[in-house]
Chains A and B, each alone.
Chain A
Amino acid sequence: MKTKLITKIALWIGLIFCALYAGLPILWLLSSSFKSNQSIFAIPPRLVDETFSLDAYIAVLSDEKNLRFFFNSYAIAGIVVLVTLVIALLSAYSFSRFNFPGKKFINTIIISVQAVPPITLLIPYLVMVVKMGIYDSYPALILTYVVFTLPYAILMMTGYMNTLPRELDEAVMIDGGSRFRALWQVLVPSCVPGLVSVGLYTFIQCWNEYLYALTLTKTNAMRTVPIGIASLMGQYAFEWNEIMAMSILGSLPVIIIALFFQKYFIAGMTAGAVKS
């Protein structure tokens, strides 16, 4: 009994210690976004002080440049999610419902291309994007993001579709419906949980991307939130409270996904490593 109590106390000490390790930096991020810039480095450090206000958020959101970053990020991530989902659905359907020569080969290629580092393709992409005349535009980022999100989306969608019984779509075809109809009218509605998972994962990937956004765009009109946050860091005078407010706002979509779509968030996160 006594050892049980000791284990329990040790467990709670461990749990709380780890919670501080994970949470304190985030708490400081949040707290700094509500302070005035003068009190950011005040001694002694306090989580909440008398300068508590929403001023930093108001300053960030009343700057048109920042709003443009948010608009760009949402638009690009939204379009990429749509394109990736459609292409992944078609490919997953083929993998899940057909047997054809070369199936294993294509599948292996799709698994392996996930290992291609974005930094490796940076120079040829820049050359191609400039040659195509789409440097510093949405299509440049959309194309690259689709390529990098597609393999994982296909593998996840195929896995999901494999769990759906074949009778589901075969019933449509026996009634004289085409394969295409079977896919869109029967399979797609049954795939919604899988689509949500893949869609959210793809969205987060695009939302967080930094390297290509940095290299393939140039003007503020085309830049995304991560670049916007980083550019605040480069300015001559650090408005720390505004940088932190912008960081919170820039993380909001992912936080919302993680908190309210936790099941999907975790599914997207672990599908690659955990096999059920």
Chain B
Amino acid sequence: MRQNRLSKKGNGTALVSRLIQPYAYQLPVIVLMTCLLFVPIILVISYSFYDNVIVNDNPVWVGFANYKELLTEKNFVKSIGNTAVFVVFNVVFHLLIGMAMALMVNAKSLGSGAKATFRIIYMLPWMFNATVIAILWKLLLNPSGVVNQILMSVGVIDLPVAWFSERSLALGVLTFINIWGGYPFYMISILAGLQGISADLYEAAAVDGATGVQQFFYISLPQLKPILISIAMLDFIWTTQNFSLIWLLTGGGPSRATEMMSTYVYKTAFSSYQYSKASTAAVIILLVCVVLAIFYVRNQNRED
């Protein structure tokens, strides 16, 4: 009798521990995420509803006033436009370049040695971080740098061009550099996708007399579609919040010609100490990214 009760009690604690166990393993994650992700998100959102946070000990609740002010401010609206242009051109060219390179490396007539070599060469920009990429292109595009020298000797330009301080050029140059730095992610992902497509599909198409171009449009592209949507979504999210490359190359200048939402936040916070306004802009970036992420997650779930 006594023994029976004991064992029953034992089962009880076993049951409780079984129920708790999965959460116990999640505990470090839950604690970290709560303290260092949810709390700061709530903080930054609350900052955006106050006036003069951080610098003032008793900030005043202002509701949506910061949002109204920001969304009608010329400089911030311009930064939204710049970010949109930057992101769209990046995603489109990443996709085109990544696809072209992946298709070439995947070509049947290419030997495995050549394949491996080109794959490594094409991956090169991905091995260098934003700081190095920024510094490298500052050297290349320096007024007396090698790009200007070559363009002048070929006769495309007569005088050296200051690529980063020309208002009409700076955004285009930044976009070009970011495209160069980011396409390897597409190339590698698309290549992995291409290699996952069953060879039977191509053989069947070849038997039916489909040309290479037809095979691409009717087999490769539809098969790659989920991957392409995934990487484009991720790229949208990443490029929208890109900070380091822009900050290091132009700092948003000349005269805000390359100002992005991210550089706007940084400057407003740490150059003019308007933390409420900066927080408001930061929340707007968050909202954009959350909307993009919802599309991304829904796309991922559809795949499952």
Cβ of B92 within 8 Å of any chain A Cβ, yes or no, is no
Candidates B33, B114, B149, B234; contact of A45 at CB < 8 Å: B149
Are B132 and A247 in contact, CB atoms less than 8 angstroms apart? Answer: yes
Q: In the complex, what residue of chain B is closest to A232 when comparing beta carbons? A: B135
* Contacts of B176-200 to chain A: CB distance below 8 A: 180, 184-185, 188-189, 192-193, 196
Candidates A41, A93, A123; contact of B282 at CB < 8 Å: A123
Q: How near does chain A come to B276, taking the closest CB pair, in angstroms?
A: 10
Residues of B within 8 A of A48 (CB): none
Q: In the complex, what residue of chain A is closest to B304 when comparing beta carbons? A: A275
Are A40 and B139 in contact, CB atoms less than 8 angstroms apart? Answer: yes
Q: How many residues of A contact B (CB 8 A)?
A: 86
Residues of B within 8 A of A229 (CB): 131-132, 135
Are B243 and A119 in contact, CB atoms less than 8 angstroms apart? Answer: yes
Main secondary structure of the interface of B (DSSP, over half): helix
Are A41 and B293 in contact, CB atoms less than 8 angstroms apart? Answer: no
A15 and B231 contact, Cβ closer than 8 Å, known pairs A124-B44, A233-B135, A266-B192: no
Residues of A within 8 A of B144 (CB): 41
Residues of B within 8 A of A243 (CB): 135, 139
Are B47 and A230 in contact, CB atoms less than 8 angstroms apart? Answer: no
| Complex-state Cα separation, A45 to B140, whole angstroms | 11
* Contacts of A35-82 to chain B: CB distance below 8 A: 40-41, 43-45
User: Interface 1/0s, chain B 227-241, versus A by CB < 8 A?
Assistant: 100110010010011
Cβ of B121 within 8 Å of any chain A Cβ, yes or no, is yes
Are A272 and B286 in contact, CB atoms less than 8 angstroms apart? Answer: no
Are A274 and B121 in contact, CB atoms less than 8 angstroms apart? Answer: no
Q: In the complex, what residue of chain B is closest to A244 when comparing beta carbons? A: B139
A274 and B22 contact, Cβ closer than 8 Å, known pairs A11-B110, A115-B290, A255-B127: no
Q: In the complex, what residue of chain A is closest to B228 when comparing beta carbons? A: A273
Cβ of B84 within 8 Å of any chain A Cβ, yes or no, is no
Are A117 and B41 in contact, CB atoms less than 8 angstroms apart? Answer: no
User: Interface 1/0s, chain B 126-157, versus A by CB < 8 A?
Assistant: 11111110111111101011100110010000
Are A247 and B22 in contact, CB atoms less than 8 angstroms apart? Answer: no
| Complex-state Cα separation, A250 to B286, whole angstroms | 31
Are B41 and A121 in contact, CB atoms less than 8 angstroms apart? Answer: yes
Residues of A within 8 A of B159 (CB): none
Comparing B56-64, B73-81, B166-174, B264-272, the segment that makes contact with chain A is B264-272
| Complex-state Cα separation, A8 to B111, whole angstroms | 12
Residues of B within 8 A of A98 (CB): 21-22, 25
Residues of A within 8 A of B54 (CB): 123, 127
Are B104 and A94 in contact, CB atoms less than 8 angstroms apart? Answer: no
Cβ of A19 within 8 Å of any chain B Cβ, yes or no, is yes
Are A273 and B227 in contact, CB atoms less than 8 angstroms apart? Answer: yes
* Contacts of B243-285 to chain A: CB distance below 8 A: 243-244, 248, 262, 265-266, 269-270, 275, 278-279, 282-283, 285
Cβ of B26 within 8 Å of any chain A Cβ, yes or no, is yes
Q: Can you list 14 residue pairs at the A/B interface with Cβ under 8 Å? A: A15-B110, A90-B29, A99-B22, A106-B26, A119-B265, A121-B44, A123-B275, A124-B44, A146-B32, A147-B36, A179-B21, A243-B135, A254-B129, A270-B188
Contacts A87-B29, A124-B44, A247-B136 supplied; 20 other A-B pairs, CB < 8 Å: A8-B109, A18-B118, A25-B125, A25-B180, A40-B139, A91-B29, A100-B22, A117-B237, A120-B41, A123-B282, A124-B47, A154-B29, A230-B135, A233-B135, A247-B128, A247-B132, A258-B123, A269-B188, A273-B189, A274-B193
Pick the 8 closest A-B CB pairs, nearest first.
A115-B293, A117-B241, A94-B25, A208-B129, A124-B40, A98-B22, A124-B43, A210-B244
Give A residues with C-beta under 8 Å from B. Answer: 7-8, 11, 14-15, 18-19, 21-23, 25-26, 28-29, 32, 40-41, 43-45, 87, 90-91, 93-94, 98-100, 103, 106, 108-125, 127-128, 143-144, 146-147, 150, 154, 179, 207-208, 210-211, 215, 226-227, 229-230, 233, 240, 243-244, 247, 250-251, 254-255, 258-259, 262, 266, 269-270, 272-276
